[in-house]
Amino acid sequence: MKERIPPGQHRVNKLQVLHVGAVPDFNKNTWNFKVFGLIDNPFVLNWEEFNKLPIIKIKSDFHCVTSWSKLENEWEGVSLKEIIRIAKPKPEAKFLLIHCFNEYKTNLSLDDALQEGVMLANKCDGKYLSPEHGFPLRLVVPHLYAWKSAKWVRSIEFLDKEVLGYWEQRGYHKRGDPWKEERYS
């Protein structure tokens, strides 16, 4: 059986609230989600439109680089693969930059964005996310360290070059695979 806890990690029984900056306010009437950059179909969805996208539910584990892991979280939301399918990336688009409402950013390769379980979630374990955990919309990237699981996602940009996010610019690894302990660059 595959080991569930990556090297240097320990198990906790709930997600720890962790972020830089303030929890942004959510206004259903002004909120939108934008997809732009090197794609054939740039789009913006308001709250109602976003909630018409097909919903998936996936159980996955969450590994924070500060060493805690919370196993078996059932996330509900829209697969990032679905967003990418709608966006139609141009051949040169190889990287994504995820922008958040509180200026936080994180980068992902297109390959990582297409992995199983990568999604934009608004529920966890059957309940809407609390504001501290990223409501109305957070990214979940189960196969990489949790700083990639950006809360309060505002837009996704497709790029031909890798542009680093908040922690990646501050010495954390560009990719962050917990099984390879890609903690720092």
Ligand X SMILES: Nc1nc2c(c(=O)[nH]1)N[C@H]1C(S)=C(S)[C@@H](COP(=O)(O)O)O[C@H]1N2
Residues that bind ligand X (CB under 6 A): 15-20, 64, 100, 102, 104, 133-134, 146-147, 149-152
DSSP string computed for 110-134: HHHHTSTT-EEEEEETTEEPPGGGT
Which of Mo ion, ligand X, none does residue 100 bind (CB under 5 to 8 Å by kind)? ligand X
**Which residue's CB is nearer to ligand X, number 86 or number 155?**
155
> Is there binding between residue 139 and Mo ion (CB under 5 A)?
no
DSSP string computed for 60-123: EEEE-TTSEEEEEEEEEEEEHHHHHHHH-B-TT--EEEEEETTS-EEEEEHHHHTSTT-EEEEE
* 131 CB burial (10 A radius; 0-12, 13-18, 19+): middle
Tokens coding 86:
């709608």
**Which residue's CB is nearer to ligand X, number 89 or number 139?**
139
**Which residue's CB is nearer to ligand X, number 108 or number 150?**
150
**Which residue's CB is nearer to ligand X, number 35 or number 64?**
64
Helix-, strand-, coil-residue percentages of the chain, each rounded to 5: 15, 35, 50
Tokens coding 170:
């501050």
Binding mask 49-68 for Mo ion (x = CB under 5 A): ---------------x----
Q: Nearest approach, Cβ of 75 to ligand X (angstroms)? A: 11
In sequence order, the 6+-apart residues with CB closer than 8 A to the CB of 85 are none
Which of Mo ion, ligand X, none does residue 123 bind (CB under 5 to 8 Å by kind)? none
CA pair distance 52, 22, nearest whole angstrom = 29
**Which residue's CB is nearer to ligand X, number 102 or number 109?**
102
Interface with Mo ion (CB under 5 A), residue from 15, 93, 146, 150 = 146
Which of Mo ion, ligand X, none does residue 19 bind (CB under 5 to 8 Å by kind)? ligand X
Beta bridge partners of 46: 32
> Is there binding between residue 129 and Mo ion (CB under 5 A)?
no
Which of Mo ion, ligand X, none does residue 81 bind (CB under 5 to 8 Å by kind)? none
Which residues make up the interface to Mo ion (CB under 5 A)? Answer: 64, 146-147
